[in-house]
Structure 1
Amino acid sequence: MHTNHTIMPKIPNLRVHIAPVGYEVDRIVLPAKKLRADKVILLVHENPSEDKATKFYQKISDMLEKLNIEVVTEYHDRTALFQIIKTVKKLIEQESGNIISINLASGSKVQAIGCMMASMMFNDDKNVNPFYVEAKEYLGFSGKAISKGIKDIEYIPPYEIQKPEERHIQALKIIVDNGGKISKKEMAKLALDKKLIVVNAENQSQATFASLDKNIISPLENDWNFITVEKKGRTRWIQITEEGKNAAEFLI
């Protein structure tokens, strides 16, 4: 994924819209105009040859620029839910300090789901506002935009989805970086090195494993189902689960 944009001076509290590009034009441009957006980040499929919506991008971009709205292009895989979430998460982090409005109506269903999930998981600064745009007229798809005008803009309450603590995300990254499987002994060493656990005891070895079990392994295994622990011979192995692999795609 990469971004093309025009550099502009850093201004606090910009009104930033994030909008997937689908078969819509008015449902991106008119809300940006009505809500006085300073910048619109357009989510565009990373492989234009596979995307029928690509032809709408230039029209949207031209219309926004005529309104003196900065246009940023963010390329992503519009078919992959977890990659959509990761992309929107990155943009939310990049635009921290600004007022972020996320358009749930302009792209595909999977993009809408990914955008909404990102809004609910990564709204730590309470500056993310997902919204839905009701079209004034629906035209059906015939190679042109599928709607015309806008009737209403409705903000959606971004109810929070719990996500793991940062230390649990970092622990998951350690497992991923080690190919999805790591011995408990090696995990304890790396967790200490990265200060994911802190041990101050005379019997440091025993205290280290106890802290690792309580503070890292138990939450990842029992609360999140991200890992399993299996004993083979004298070694206990920590292995990532399918749920852990999926979560790692957008958490790490």
Structure 2
Amino acid sequence: MEPMNIVDRVQIAPLGYEKARVKEPIYQFNADKVVLIRQDSSTDYETDYQRDLISELEDNDRIELDTLECDFFDLESSLRVLTSAIREHEDHDVYVNASTGSKITAIAAVIACQNLGATPFYVRPEYRNDDGHLEPPEEPLVSEVGEITDIPVFSLQSPSMNQLLVLSYLAEEDGATKKELIEFGKSQEFDFIVNSKTTSEEGLYKLLETHIIDPLQSKSFISVKKDGRTKRVYLADHGKEALQIFQPE
């Protein structure tokens, strides 16, 4: 008889300037493993209460603890780390705390969960006075603001496998001509090339435009720039973000 696979309850939580909203769900959901995502140490510092929580979880013999780092205020970095953490535990029940960290990590958590089958959850904060009664905080939660940055917007629909392979190829090669993309498609036996009766160069270029260039460019995943007498195709920022979520196995 083959040994049974034991499914763990894995909880992934960005460790923002929070304690209760990180800690309480870990115990309420009886997490077997916790992956704390810490702010990149090169751009910020941790508080005593954050380090205390890490120490408490390290001392818990029942809970396995891992820690990762990302830039809480960069969507690509947050997506990359969250996606990697979810994929690593894809055989388990994975829950992601979308209420801690930053708003950027919350957006990244929901996107990653939606596309990888994990479960995001939100913990509502409560503000109580000395008597234990609920009341709004007396002072604004934030007194100053920092840098204002745009949040990339892109479709959550996955590109086709052929399109994902092209995005990966562009990332590795730092761009390519359309002729090089056609040769890459032949080497990968793209269905629209293999199953086509078209053999002319002009016909192959039209197929590339229809199945690869146009759909990826319409979603701002790629850019096409003139380089002398030729045109080169480059991976755009949205394409990098798409690879973090939908990267081919």
How far residue 82 of structure 1 moved from its aligned partner, in angstroms, is: 1.3
User: 1:130 maps to which residue?
Assistant: 120
| 1:20 and 2:14 correspond | yes
The 1-side partners of 2:61 and 2:27 are apart by: 7
User: 1:147 maps to which residue?
Assistant: none
| 1:165 and 2:160 correspond | yes
How far residue 24 of structure 1 moved from its aligned partner, in angstroms, is: 1.4
Q: Is the 8 A contact 2:79 2:241 kept in 1?
A: no
| 1:51 and 2:47 correspond | no
TM-score w.r.t. length of structure 2: 0.74
How far residue 167 of structure 1 moved from its aligned partner, in angstroms, is: 2.1
How far residue 73 of structure 1 moved from its aligned partner, in angstroms, is: 0.5
| Alignment counterpart, residue 82 of structure 1, candidates 76, 82, 85 | 76
Q: Percent identity?
A: 28
Quick check: which one's strand share is greater? 1
Q: Is the 8 A contact 1:19 1:106 kept in 2?
A: yes
The 1-side partners of 2:237 and 2:25 are apart by: 39
| 1:97 and 2:97 correspond | no
The 2-side partners of 1:74 and 1:241 are apart by: 26
The size of the alignment, in residue pairs, is 218
TM-score w.r.t. length of structure 1: 0.73
User: 1:149 maps to which residue?
Assistant: none
How far residue 130 of structure 1 moved from its aligned partner, in angstroms, is: 0.7
How far residue 245 of structure 1 moved from its aligned partner, in angstroms, is: 4.9
Give the letter aligned to residue 166 of structure 2.
A
How far residue 78 of structure 1 moved from its aligned partner, in angstroms, is: 1.9
Q: Deviations over 1:48-88 (max 9, x none)?
A: x6424354443222323426211111122222111101111
Partner-residue secondary structure (3-state), 2:194:
coil
User: Pairwise CA RMSD of aligned residues?
Assistant: 3.0
Give the letter aligned to residue 39 of structure 1.
K
| Alignment counterpart, residue 184 of structure 1, candidates 178, 181, 193 | 178
The 2-side partners of 1:54 and 1:170 are apart by: 42
How far residue 236 of structure 1 moved from its aligned partner, in angstroms, is: 4.0
Aligned CA distance change for structure 1 residues 57 and 225 (closer, same or farther; 3 Å): same
How far residue 21 of structure 1 moved from its aligned partner, in angstroms, is: 0.6
Q: Deviations over 1:157-196 (max 9, x none)?
A: xxx93222232122012222222x3211111111221233
Q: Is the 8 A contact 2:18 2:50 kept in 1?
A: no
The 1-side partners of 2:228 and 2:45 are apart by: 55
Partner-residue secondary structure (3-state), 1:135:
coil
Name whichever of 106-115 and 87-96 sits farther off.
106-115
The 1-side partners of 2:204 and 2:189 are apart by: 11
The 1-side partners of 2:26 and 2:32 are apart by: 8
